[in-house]
Homo-oligomer: A and B are copies of this chain.
Amino acid sequence: MTKPRSRRVPRVLVLADRRPDGLDEVAAHADLVCVPEARLAAELPAADALLVWEFGTEALPAAWPGGGGGPRWVHTASAGVDRLMFPALRDSDTLVTNSRGVFEQPIAEWVAGQVIALAKDFAGTYERQRGRVWQHRVTERVADTYAVVLGGGPIGRAVVRTLRALGLRVDLVGRSRRDGDPEVGTVHAFGEFGELLARADWVVCAAPLTAETEDLFDAAAFARMKRGARFVNVGRGPMVVEKDLLAALEHGRLAGAALDVFRQEPLPADSPLWDAPNLLVSPHMSADTVSWLDDLAAVFADNFARWRTGRPLRNVVDKKLGYVPVAAAEPSAPTAPEEGA
């Protein structure tokens, strides 16, 4: 029998009703405890790390310990971290990491599919099929149309690559201007967005929710868009003023829209968005493929192994920006768990 290690094994909370698959290696090196939302406040003070597996939670701000307590590392099984940017966590020394790498390709495929589906009126074809109606229509090419993608992070970049592969002309708008970006060429500054928006056939929102982007798509923005343009949102719901989007669709300013995110999720049954003209309501699933839970567990397990052994973490969120800067996706900021502390 080997002697038990004298150093304390880190206590890792998982916000989930049951332990996700794929965390055996974590459990071998941690005191891994799954807690439901109701027990979060009681468990957080003694935790070294928190895996926010149920990433739709809104329980964290109320449960977070006061007085600078709380785990030193929080990892979320999502790309967006807006739900973690409440003051007590944002202003703390706690490191926040996300699940960048899991969602980009599926989301980009979903966006490409919605662009084609809107251009070719797939929804109208499904609708007619239900009534056994054979009705030929002429539709649109997507090649050579022009799209503006808002969001310079990995999701926006994957969308740009995918739409360009389909022959669209695409501009990417990020936080600040950068020329000669090896992946996408020019990244336009946020200040250029209004001008590019006005020329776009397609406007795709793939940005993080921040103070700057909240309510960005309002009546003024839709009024600035080309008549007949279409809008796709895979970012976060609160970036869109939904009643303004509804009006833009009803007045024909926009020819269509596809939303995978909403201000309130699930979208309430009485929301007028459900039957807005030419609007697709998708239940926040564009990123979620058959392997997504395994992929999410693997991302956390990799970061846990780094944390445990004192190596830099991947996907460290810049809490001032509210997202993982492109340059910080790969390990760069050294951090170590204080075992035995």
Contact = CB atoms under 8 A, between A and B. Distances in A.
A171 B137 CA distance: 31
Q: How many copies does the complex hold?
A: 2
A128 interface: yes
A283 B125 CA distance: 8
Contacts of A292: 138
Contacts of A282: 125
A126 B128 contact: no
A53 to B, nearest CB: 15
Given A109-B116, A113-B122, A140-B289, 11 more contacts: A112-B166, A113-B113, A116-B116, A120-B286, A122-B122, A129-B274, A134-B266, A134-B283, A135-B283, A136-B285, A139-B290
A223 to B, nearest CB: 25
A117 B120 CA distance: 12
B109 A119 contact: yes
A107 to B, nearest CB: 10
A58 interface: no
B274 A132 contact: yes
A256 B208 CA distance: 35
Given A139-B290, A143-B105, A290-B139, A120 B126 contact: no
A119 to B, nearest CB: 7
Given A110-B120, A116-B110, A285 B137 contact: yes
Contacts of A165: 165-166
A263 B24 CA distance: 55
